[in-house]
Structure 1
Amino acid sequence: MDKLRDLLDSKKSEAARMIDEKEMMASLKGWVKGQDHVIDDLTRLIRLQWGKEKRKRPIANLLMLGPTGTGKTELCKAMANYLFEDEKNMLLFDCSEFSGSEGKTRLIGTPTGYVGAESGGQLTRPVLNNPKRLIVFDEIEKAWSGIFDLFLQMMGDGRLTEQGSGRQADFTQSIIVLTSNAEHEAIGKIQNEIDDLQERADAVKKHLRDSKIFRPEMLGRFDRVYVFQPLEGIVIAEIAVLKMIKSAQAYGLELEYVAPELVFDAMSKSDKLKEFGIRELERVIDEMLADGLLAARQIGAEKVKLVLDDEGTLVIEPVDEE
């Protein structure tokens, strides 16, 4: 009986290690638009690394490059939801908040004898409590240079010792992502000039090394360097549709299918949508649709649709289910 139980547990463990590449790819592409070249390679990499029984380093160390608002953070959220079952299992660090030497202490904790030592580090303590994490360091170029020593250890050995408690945080069940929009114009030029993915990645790494943004040993820790393309046109409209669906859900409403072409047409006429960048898109959409969504909810509607009024403005209308 014990042998049978061990065999069943082994089979369950094996199943838990398997990733359905097509399913994961579809899930990520449902969240992030315009970056299929990244998602196609990323899902294969994660599937292969996820299936390993033993690891001495994180599942993957990734560097995501590109202009602001191209979907780097959104892709990380999508990965956390798919791989770790909840976006809450993603740790997101804004590296502009770690620009001084005290940033290292904030991440791995205060030494024994100092105030706050028992609380642990903002990085190490959550990983000690749950090592299955997606960990994102956003705009890494803004971090204090001394923090990179921590990254080298975390990405290379899969371990960090928390000051104060002396406990070792295990990162071998985590995915580490560093994002940057530094040198995005030069990197975009490399992307346009080189078609081969491996040659392009090597050229990008060389540029980052020559520009002294990353130390050579740091670049050597990355399993992949992904360059995100600028978003424009119908792709932005597709992203807007996704955000509209989420906005409706926040009011407990279902949004009927919206053709991206309809949104694209409205965007081309809207001064608000022209004025703000992609990162402001969600806020602009909320401002445009909130009154209509709230009004629909107040009359008991469960489903709404998006239409263009006579002035070409997007408006919300309740859907009659009868």
Structure 2
Amino acid sequence: MSEQTITPIHDHLIRGHDYLAQRPEFALIGRLETIQQLTAILTRRHANNILLVGSGGVGCSALCLGLEERKSAQDAPYDLISKRFFWLDSDGLFTSGNPNTINDSFQKTLKTLARTPDSVLIIDDMRDFIEASRSNGASNLINALMRAVRKKDTQVIIESRDADLNVVLSAHSDMREYYTVLDLGEPAADELTEIVAQTARRRLEPFHKIRIADSAIAAALELTEKYRVRDMGLNRAQPERSLTLLDRALTSYRLRAHSKDPRIVTLEAELETLAQEDPSAARINELKANIQAISQSWQTRQHTIKKLFQELRSGEEGIRRLENELETQLIKEADDRQNAGADQEATNSTSAVNRFMLDTVNLDSDIITRIKQKMAQYEALVKEKKDEFEAQTKEINDQLELKQEQVLIEFSSISRIPVTKLTQDERKKLLHLDAQLAKRVYGQEVAVTKLANQVRVAKAGLQAPNKPQAAFLFLGPSGVGKTEIAKALTAELFDDENALLRFDMSEYMEKHAVAKLIGAPPGYEGYEAGGILTNELRKNPRRIILFDEIEKAHPDVFNVFLQILDDARLTDNRGLTVSFRDTIILMTTNIGTQHFLGESNFAVAEDLALADLEDVYRPEFLNRFNGRQNIVCFKTLGLSIIEMIATREISKLNEMVQATMPNLTIAMDTKALSAMCRDHYKPVNGARGITGYIEGVIKPEIANTVLFADQSSGTITIGYDEAERCAVMSLPDGQRVE
């Protein structure tokens, strides 16, 4: 039954079984525990109305449909079977735009519900309902709805996005008293896999007419769980993210496969590999012959399909043309009969029986008969061509199957993450994590090893329950790699260092600053928006979070830290709880910096810095870092480490230049680099001093040379004048700067 054939019974209500009949492909998978929760709430005596809250795509609407579907289950309790669910046709209710008409219609709706025993009204987007009521001058609809709830005329289930929760709750003062808020989270891993697999095969396979392999479903789940992209379709909650990725991958794969035979792609790849390895191999000629034969067959089939499509469209156009002719002829003949009957009545030349026969007998004329015969011929032709067209396309589609490779290609094109990174073995990546971190963070072996080990423990599922995956507090001077290690870890685990969620705690120095993290109290500006931290975690619970320079934060902020580090959960100002169990928490502080700069013995400096830390922070806070085992002191960088960093920065500069001018190279000899580092490195500035010198002095000189040199080829040598304490550029032989 199509949606167009279903109309509200009256007063803008749609019966539950009719609403479900509009969606014949619907089946609720999993979520049995949540359905039982909803049923229990509806069976209560008090607060038996439901405010269902969740992120877009998490399945609020599906759960309401699931309640109606659950009524037909053999083990459904009678308490649920007796409920009569009605969906409100909000669009129809507000169509007129007339406040009086809207109010009258809604009052009739509520009377219908009051006359129906055990009625349950479902409003699928409460914020839209509220805004439509106010914009149409019918704000009293909210009061009328709440009055019906108080009088127990009906029960109500309303759906709301979590971002709109405060708008809904503030719509009426009694909302919290009469409604139970049910916060719907994403399905658990096993349940999510089942939902995505069954839904994809029930909805996507029939639509695209292409099979979906288990490997493709597993890849879609893994990618959408691990990565978050800004694409609107892939920024929703699960299972919607995975289904959207599969739909897009099927579309791209389908278009590629329908423009070129997939077998040719495989054979061409094999031919290219073989030609590089053994150009004289006999298999090469065989592959070329196979490619040519398949290409000819493919072109013939494509020509046949296109011809069938043109004939099909031509037949459909013929039917439409004949339908217009038939309608015109029927109107003409009806007018002729009416005029003839009027003339006969005027002359009284026809008996009453003849006039009755003239009015009631409607035999087709010869013209109408011929038109109908032609239409029947066209319809038979269209059916024949359509069957042939579908047979040809089915023969192609039956050879296709969406696999992991196609899903990876599609996600790579969306996220801009190379396929090679997406296909990296996660276990190997974790095994070599410390080595990869050490490539970016020099001279901090203890911090790198501890962090990598803790991440491996978490990924192995051995972390403490209801705790973050890892929590570290980094101490040390500025510029020694505390922030850099957070970026490096994010890049390794998520292939994008911009995925790091960073909070500069200098922005949280005031007492009220905690409201920025979890949301403002009721009645204050920004209450509806929620908190920055909690909102981000609701969108994506798998994050690396850096709280930078925590000593600058107001003491009240540390109460939030205590809850995150202890329970791995936080409740925002709206009453919604977010989990930090899948997060890695990193904090940095400059407390004790003076000891690392003034003490040559690192162990002594470490003890002094930790003593300062104990003077500033409460023991219960410090103990949250794995019993203080994860409080890590960073060493002051030696000159040899600074030279390694400078070498890396010069290499990056060289890559930037060659990206735009491939024939130009930047070079700096070891002696000049050592002299530059010796003159411009100060421990108090850390690595930032030397990187700042390269950014502020060397880069502008290189830019001037590149822009104004006669030619852009050869090697630009960076020298260093120790007497003047400055870098000197040497152009390739024979070149000069104008």
Matched, 1:218 2:615: no
User: C-alpha deviations, 1:117-157, integer Å up to 9, x for none?
Assistant: 23332222222222222111122122111111100111111
Matched, 1:103 2:510: no
Query: Is the Cα contact below 8 Å between 2:591 and 2:612 reproduced in 1?
Result: no
2:685 counterpart (263, 267, 277): 277
User: C-alpha deviations, 1:50-77, integer Å up to 9, x for none?
Assistant: 2218852211000111112211011111
Distance in 2, matches of 1:286 and 1:144, equals: 34
Q: Compared with structure 1, are the counterparts of its residues 137 and 302 closer, same or farther at alpha carbon in structure 2 (3 Å cutoff)?
A: farther
Q: Compared with structure 1, are the counterparts of its residues 309 and 147 closer, same or farther at alpha carbon in structure 2 (3 Å cutoff)?
A: closer
Q: Secondary structure at the match of 1:153?
A: helix
User: Structure 1: 5+ residue runs without aligned partners?
Assistant: 195-199
Query: Is the Cα contact below 8 Å between 2:646 and 2:673 reproduced in 1?
Result: yes
Q: Which moved more, 1:153-162 or 1:185-194?
A: 185-194
Query: Is the Cα contact below 8 Å between 1:296 and 1:317 reproduced in 2?
Result: no
Matched, 1:314 2:727: yes
Q: Secondary structure at the match of 2:555?
A: coil
Query: Is the Cα contact below 8 Å between 1:61 and 1:222 reproduced in 2?
Result: yes
1:172 counterpart (578, 581, 599): 581
Q: Which moved more, 1:174-183 or 1:111-120?
A: 111-120
User: C-alpha deviations, 1:216-263, integer Å up to 9, x for none?
Assistant: 111121131111001121111212233334445556468657566541
Distance in 2, matches of 1:147 and 1:303, equals: 56
Alignment of 1:16-165 (within 5 A): 18=427, 20-52=429-461, 55-164=465-574
Distance in 2, matches of 1:56 and 1:8, equals: 29
TM-score, with structure 1 as normaliser: 0.79
Code of the residue aligned with 2:481 in structure 1: it is G
Q: Secondary structure at the match of 2:524?
A: coil
TM-score, with structure 2 as normaliser: 0.37
Distance in 1, matches of 2:432 and 2:668, equals: 24
Query: Is the Cα contact below 8 Å between 2:720 and 2:728 reproduced in 1?
Result: yes
Distance in 1, matches of 2:462 and 2:732, equals: 51
Q: Compared with structure 1, are the counterparts of its residues 179 and 48 closer, same or farther at alpha carbon in structure 2 (3 Å cutoff)?
A: same
What residue in structure 2 maps to residue 5 of structure 1?
A: 214
Q: Which moved more, 1:1-10 or 1:46-55?
A: 1-10
What residue in structure 1 maps to residue 16 of structure 2?
A: none
Deviation at 1:301, TM superposition (A): 4.5
Q: Secondary structure at the match of 1:146?
A: helix
What residue in structure 2 maps to residue 227 of structure 1?
A: 633
Deviation at 1:309, TM superposition (A): 5.1
Code of the residue aligned with 2:548 in structure 1: it is D
Query: Is the Cα contact below 8 Å between 2:672 and 2:720 reproduced in 1?
Result: no
Distance in 2, matches of 1:70 and 1:30, equals: 14
Query: Is the Cα contact below 8 Å between 1:70 and 1:231 reproduced in 2?
Result: yes
Higher relative contact order (CA 8 A, sep 6+): 1
Distance in 1, matches of 2:470 and 2:515, equals: 25
Query: Is the Cα contact below 8 Å between 2:667 and 2:718 reproduced in 1?
Result: no
Cα RMSD for the two superposed structures: 3.8
Query: Is the Cα contact below 8 Å between 1:60 and 1:175 reproduced in 2?
Result: yes
Query: Is the Cα contact below 8 Å between 2:592 and 2:608 reproduced in 1?
Result: no
Q: Compared with structure 1, are the counterparts of its residues 306 and 21 closer, same or farther at alpha carbon in structure 2 (3 Å cutoff)?
A: farther
Count of residue correspondences = 308
Deviation at 1:7, TM superposition (A): 12
Alignment of 1:244-263 (within 5 A): 244-249=650-655, 252=659, 262-263=672-673
Distance in 1, matches of 2:683 and 2:620, equals: 41
Q: Compared with structure 1, are the counterparts of its residues 17 and 238 closer, same or farther at alpha carbon in structure 2 (3 Å cutoff)?
A: closer
Deviation at 1:295, TM superposition (A): 3.5
Deviation at 1:113, TM superposition (A): 3.8
Code of the residue aligned with 2:521 in structure 1: it is P
Distance in 1, matches of 2:703 and 2:684, equals: 24
1:237 counterpart (625, 634, 643): 643
Deviation at 1:114, TM superposition (A): 2.7
Matched, 1:207 2:611: yes
Distance in 1, matches of 2:714 and 2:471, equals: 42
Structure 1 or 2: larger helix share? 2
Distance in 1, matches of 2:714 and 2:447, equals: 34
Q: Secondary structure at the match of 1:284?
A: helix
Alignment of 1:282-293 (within 5 A): 282-293=691-702
Q: Compared with structure 1, are the counterparts of its residues 157 and 288 closer, same or farther at alpha carbon in structure 2 (3 Å cutoff)?
A: same
Q: Secondary structure at the match of 1:32?
A: coil
Distance in 2, matches of 1:247 and 1:120, equals: 42
Distance in 2, matches of 1:267 and 1:153, equals: 44
Distance in 2, matches of 1:142 and 1:192, equals: 25
Query: Is the Cα contact below 8 Å between 1:17 and 1:50 reproduced in 2?
Result: no
What residue in structure 2 maps to residue 197 of structure 1?
A: none
Code of the residue aligned with 2:649 in structure 1: it is K
Q: Which moved more, 1:279-288 or 1:226-235?
A: 279-288
Q: Secondary structure at the match of 2:439?
A: helix
Q: Which moved more, 1:151-160 or 1:122-131?
A: 122-131
Which protein is bigger by CA-based radius of gyration? 2
Distance in 1, matches of 2:644 and 2:631, equals: 25
Code of the residue aligned with 2:718 in structure 1: it is V
Q: Compared with structure 1, are the counterparts of its residues 306 and 178 closer, same or farther at alpha carbon in structure 2 (3 Å cutoff)?
A: farther
